[in-house]
Amino acid sequence: MTDDRGRSQENGPTGSRSSSEGDEWVKQLSGLCGPGAGLRHVDIPMAEIDSMFDSIFAPADEPAGNALSPHARNPIRLYGSNEDILDAYYIFIHPYFPILPAPVRLPVYSRPQPRRVSPVHLSNGLALAIAAILVLIPHPDENDAHRAEYVRVRRDFAHCFAKSALEAIESEYEPLRGCEDPSNPSAEGVRVFDREPFHPKVPPSIEGVIALSILSVYEYAQRGNMNEMLHRANQALALAMSLSLHETMDEDEFAEARRRTWWMTVCTPVAVSGMRLMATQYMTVCQGLAVSNTPPSFDLYDPWFVTPFPEGWKLLVEAQQAILESATFARDLDDTIKTQADPAWISPRMAALDSQIASLLLACREAPPVSQMAPSSGSPEYVASTTMRAFAEIKLHTARIKIHRLCAFQDLTNAPTSQTGGPDRPIPPPIDARAPSSPSDINLDPMPAPDVSVPSGVRGLRFPFAADVSSKICLHAALNTVTLLDNLPYPNPAHETARRAQTARLELPRTMPTLVCCAMQAGYALLMLCLKARGFQETEAGVDGLRAPSLAGFRSDVQQSLRLVVKLVGNYALAFEALQGIRDELAQAIDREFFK
């Protein structure tokens, strides 16, 4: 059967391909779940930064360059005050990254400026970090968000906001260096925070931690720089610990903010190593470790980490721990195969991890309704609580793929067990603009895990599951992941709806794409299952013709799910340039498997 381009819609028999070509294709598919697979490295030459900065931050009463310049003629999502930025945060960021407490007033509105205004009023590091994310979202007055010039202008503004945020953080926290107890509000260095807070329920002293956590996601999703992602996350963690956020038991008006900041920061980069930290800081560090496949350089279950969970966050943090433990299992399995060490530990540990994940999935499904925690349906906090419940399930399904994929695909050569890419996937070099030095006194930078491919002798390992059982587990986990990702809410800026309806009703991107690695794991598993099904289909064609139609139908159904993964990543890529590479690489892999 051929498509309208005249090429075969399915590959020919396996035997028509050389063994080396088949091995190369499996290895290419395995790279889809490597650290930073497909990320496009986006950078700006230093020579352009100064003039770009002057153009963007020119005072309102001074000319900002030619009125016909790209910055002047493109509608950019800028906001006129910190209050407007905070409202926009609750619409575009909070549903996917609820690091701030619930809004103190409802409803919240998105009020981007109708024309370009100078952002000189911005000096707060947290406001600037949020602005760096918001400006990447297409303006409601823009009809074609994909225009190269429009993409470049948004990139320029985001870079300048991020750079200014780092400078503001460095300036504000510099007096803390040398303080014996920076967490003590009476300490001399903390007097610099005697100013209006960005959020009435967030003490100014922890705003820098939140800003660095947001910038960690920016470095990954927009710049494609995993080194800087981890650097920002580790800065946030170091600063949080210097402020004793890991051991705060106070019950005051700022308690919720401290708890969210701690646990979110730790979990966003460490998601791969599995620890029991605090909520916000914990999430940022865990996610960075998960994305980059680097082991944690400190004890994730440190008994000194005693900050309580925010309400409803326990399952999310436990899911983050599970995905970290599954990545650790995969790395240890790689090492065992490479060194031919005693494999006796593999079977009991794999069975225990699978049982742990299954129990957590059951707990997710039996958890009380979100309405009991955030009763105001449709509010930013209600949407965020619902999304975090889905995030927990997605992470658990991804963890299950991690521990089962070698067992499931052991009959396909060169399938790696851990999130490692091939030698052609180096971690990008650090960017030119370095981070402020003050929050980084504690060195928590992890060492990258080595690249390891599974030798053919892996088939001699004893697993607690049959290959077909693990294959079915991977299939269900991948399909559940895709469904949950597809059901995540889109931003809903009510006051922009009418304006968008008058134009082309542009699709709005979801932000804070911390689950892209989960989407890629699902895509990898589905492609490998298609490869296995193709082998069965070609074998059975000459033996049992009755099975061929069902296998073809299976591949067709999986192909639709794979296209949905591309759509999901493509939505993120509307705002974040680095993710365009992930979208394109996955789409090319699908085309090769089904059409080449």
With 70 as the cut, is the pLDDT of residue 75 above it?
yes
Neighbours of 338 (CB within 10 A): 13
Neighbours of 301 (CB within 10 A): 10
Are 95 and 384 in contact, with CB atoms under 8 Å apart? yes
pLDDT at 431: 30
Average pLDDT, the chain: 77
pLDDT at 108: 93
107: preceding bond cis by omega (within 30 degrees):
yes
Kindly state the tokens that stand for 173.
């926290």
Percentage of the chain lying above the pLDDT 70 cut:
65
Residue 33 CA to residue 409 CA, distance in Å, equals: 14
Q: Which residue in the block uniquely carries the two structure tokens 């409601």?
A: 140
pLDDT at 335: 87
Are 159 and 44 in contact, with CB atoms under 8 Å apart? yes
pLDDT at 101: 96
User: What is the DSSP code string of 341-385?
Assistant: --GGGHHHHHHHHHHHHHHHHHHHHHSPPGGGT--STTSHHHHHH
Q: What would the pLDDT profile of 20-62 be if each residue is shown by its tens digit? A: 555 666 666 766 666 666 677 777 665 555 555 555 555 555 5
Kindly state the tokens that stand for 436.
């402020």
With 50 as the cut, is the pLDDT of residue 450 above it?
no
Are 84 and 374 in contact, with CB atoms under 8 Å apart? no
pLDDT at 67: 46
pLDDT at 55: 57
Residue 420 CA to residue 181 CA, distance in Å, equals: 41
User: What beta strand segments (E) does 153-217 contain?
Assistant: none
Are 119 and 478 in contact, with CB atoms under 8 Å apart? no
- How confident is the model over 8-19, as a mean pLDDT? 44
Q: How confident is the model at residue 2 (pLDDT cuts 50, 70, 90)?
A: very low
Name the most confidently modeled range: 125-134, 256-265, 304-313, 412-421.
Answer: 125-134
Residue 547 CA to residue 561 CA, distance in Å, equals: 22
On the 0-12 / 13-18 / 19+ scale of CB atoms within 10 A, 323 is: buried
Q: What would the pLDDT profile of 537-557 be if each residue is shown by its tens digit? A: 666 655 555 566 688 889 899
Closest CA to 391 of 317, 295, 478: 317
Helices of type H across 174-225: 207-221
Helices of type H across 508-577: 516-540, 547-573
With 80 as the cut, is the pLDDT of residue 496 above it?
no
- How confident is the model over 587-594, as a mean pLDDT? 91
For 142-145, the CB contacts below 8 A with 24+ separation are: 142/74, 142/75, 142/506, 143/503, 143/504, 143/506, 145/506, 145/574
pLDDT at 8: 38
pLDDT at 233: 87
With 70 as the cut, is the pLDDT of residue 584 above it?
yes
Are 152 and 69 in contact, with CB atoms under 8 Å apart? no
Q: Determine which of 107-121, 268-282, 382-396 has the lowest per-residue pLDDT on average.
A: 268-282
pLDDT at 557: 93
Closest CA to 304 of 398, 397, 241, 378: 241
